[in-house]
Amino acid sequence: MKKLGNIAVVLVVAAVLPAMSIASSAENPMRVTTEENIISIHKDQSALLRYRYWEVPFKPCVQELFSPDGINILRDSPADHKHHHALMYAVSADGVNFWEEQKEPGHQIHKAFTEVRVHYHNEAPCGGFTEQLGWVNPKTTQLMLDESRTIEACQLSDFKATILYWESKFSVPSGKDSVTLSGSHYFGLGMRFVESMDVAGQFRNAEGKTGESVRGDEQLVRANWCAFTAVAEGKLVTVAMFGHPDNLRDPTQWFTMTKPFAYLSATLNLHREPLTIVPDKPLRLRYAVALWDGRVDNSLIDRTYRWWIAD
């Protein structure tokens, strides 16, 4: 990461932020603003993403993500699966299910934003924030897992794309000897799309592979990235998710499905290989989401992926 002069701004805050804005400058057009329950990242006057962190029943999430032309691709809590929260991260921790929201599910509790900033990533202006969360078992009120979550967004003129960066650092809470992550084959960083994208969308990946069939048209495939092209607001858009090569169990195992709705998630193969975190070895996971207007070719997706990992 590159920070120029006093452009980077750090705030230590309580659970709920007052209304505020970190303004753009002549050097950096990014802006981070908060409303009552939402923190948003803008380039000039255009929103790139909106993240809901407060008054959420189970988990904070990126509720909206916008293409360079201003098209949102995310859908939060649809009637068919209320627990699908747009772009969210969830797994099971020591048997407590943080994905499905039934039978005493776990709660991801927002604690604080420890940093809110505008800065530069590989020469590109970005805005972002770091949030502290506690993963809590509501039945016992026990803290199961600590998470430091960083969300950033940039809009890249060279690639004509909106880029979202997601980093989660998981650690074992004080008083626990370990935490074991597990779950279904789709648990991880999951993305539910707007309704129009459920029809006639197409997945592809960096390896050009079909992958392993799981149920119906559900697929699991390992690759550096996985992309989906479909229609949103009457126009084609392409969204790709990237997994960082430093992530544990790289290359990422992608879950995809198109029927009866479209879904994409980055997984750790936890249904076959549960993962135990110990106090002296926290788990760091880094992903990105790139969003374009129109259909883009694989070479552009790959060049964008390589730009992102070159930090």
pLDDT in tens, 36-92: 899 999 999 899 999 999 999 899 999 999 999 999 999 999 999 999 999 999 999
Dist. CA 161–CA 39, nearest whole Å:
21
Q: Is 184 exposed, middle or buried (0-12, 13-18, 19+ CB in 10 A)?
A: middle
- Which CATH number is correct for 20-309, 1.10.3470, 2.60.120, 3.30.70, 2.70.98? 2.70.98
Report residue 208 as tokens: 């050009």
What tens digit of pLDDT does each residue of 264-303 get?
A: 999 999 999 999 999 999 999 999 999 999 999 999 999 9
Checking if the pLDDT of 141 tops 80, the result is yes
Rounded-to-10 torsion of CA 227, 230, 231, 232: -40
d(CA 86, CA 78): 9
Please state the domain extents for the chain.
20-309
Does pLDDT of 7 surpass 70? no
Per-residue pLDDT of 211-228, as tens digits, reads 999 988 899 999 999 999
Q: What is the pLDDT of residue 229?
A: 98
Bridge partners (DSSP) of residue 180 are: 276
Quick one: DSSP state of residue 14? Answer: -
Q: In percent, how much of the chain has pLDDT > 70?
A: 92
Q: Which residues pair with 125 in a beta bridge?
A: 120
Number of residues assigned to the chain = 311
User: How far apart are alpha carbons 154 and 301 in whole angstroms?
Assistant: 16
DSSP letter at 46 equals E
Q: Would you say residue 1 has pLDDT above 60?
A: no
